[in-house]
């Protein structure tokens, strides 16, 4: 997998989607900022965006929304020290600092891009000891159909996020279990019991992205 090739593909897709509300400009700016000191996170969000786009497209959902939500889901990490994401072991205090990235991402994006803001805020909610926004943080006047749409995209991004972290970060999980002792698909189905289709499509999409 070539980071340069992935970056080129991402820039082409941003341009081709030509989203409303200057979302393309926001995405480009965030990637440029990440390239300075958060290059690992930049590559992570780019891979997650490609995977999420593919899964959403396979399921007949909004591939553009999934793509941009994947690109922006970890925007909150930009305000945290980059050494926290250098794939070294971290303390409990540092982990708790990292958990702030979900709510921070929502706060920063919310005035500009509501959907991507909500996905950023909720993308870690389904995990063990999930964190970030909850449904009570959604705008009260948001129609149920739109709430569901955000939640669907958030599940896709969350599954792709977990797979990418599994494949590219360390040998052990935060609870100390070794990855070699675990099966990724089973673990995902434990976390997302109602979303086996997303899990299976995301695993295939991850294999595709690895060959870029």
**In this structure, are residues 6 and 50 in contact, taking their beta carbons and an 8 Å threshold?**
yes
Considering only the stretches 10-18, 53-61, 73-81, 184-192, report the one whose residues sit in contact with Fe ion under the rule CB under 5 A: 73-81
**CA neighbours closer than 13 Å in the CB half-sphere of residue 163:** 32
Q: How far is the CB of 18 from Fe ion (least distance, A)?
A: 25
- CA–CA gap between residue 39 and residue 3 (Å, rounded): 10
- By C-beta, is 13 or 47 nearer to Fe ion? 47
Report the first-to-last Cα separation within the chain, whole angstroms. 5
- CA–CA gap between residue 40 and residue 70 (Å, rounded): 15
- By C-beta, is 63 or 102 nearer to Fe ion? 102
Please report whether residue 74 would count as binding Fe ion according to CB under 5 A: yes
- By C-beta, is 128 or 181 nearer to Fe ion? 128
Using CB under 5 A as the binding rule, the residues of this chain from 101 to 160 that contact Fe ion are: none
Q: How far is the CB of 157 from Fe ion (least distance, A)?
A: 8
Return the residue of 161, 188, 195, 201 that touches Fe ion, per CB under 5 A.
161
Please report whether residue 46 would count as binding Fe ion according to CB under 5 A: no
- CA–CA gap between residue 212 and residue 148 (Å, rounded): 32
- By C-beta, is 88 or 145 nearer to Fe ion? 88
Residue 81, Ramachandran bin (φ over 0: left; ψ between -120 and 50: alpha; else beta): beta
């Amino acid at each position: 997998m070539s980071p340069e090739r992935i970056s080129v593909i991402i820039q082409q897709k941003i341009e081709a989607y030509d989203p409303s509300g200057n979302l393309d400009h926001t995405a480009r700016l965030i990637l440029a900022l990440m390239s300075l000191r958060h290059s690992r996170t930049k590559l992570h969000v780019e891979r997650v965006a490609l995977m999420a786009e593919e899964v959403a497209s396979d399921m007949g959902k909004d591939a553009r929304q999934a793509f941009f939500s994947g690109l922006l889901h970890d925007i909150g990490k930009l305000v945290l020290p980059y050494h926290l994401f250098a794939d070294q072991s971290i303390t409990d205090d540092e982990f708790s600092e990292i958990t702030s990235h979900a709510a921070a991402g929502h706060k920063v994006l919310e005035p500009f891009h509501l959907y991507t803001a909500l996905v950023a805020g909720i993308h870690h909610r389904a995990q063990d000891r999930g964190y970030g926004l909850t449904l009570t943080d959604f705008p009260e006047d948001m129609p149920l159909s739109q709430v569901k749409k955000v939640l669907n995209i958030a599940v896709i991004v969350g599954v792709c996020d977990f797979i990418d972290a599994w494949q590219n970060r360390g040998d052990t999980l935060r609870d100390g279990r070794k990855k070699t002792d675990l099966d990724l698909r089973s673990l995902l189905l434990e976390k997302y019991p109602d979303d086996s289709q997303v899990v299976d499509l995301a695993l295939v999409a991850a294999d595709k992205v690895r060959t870029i």
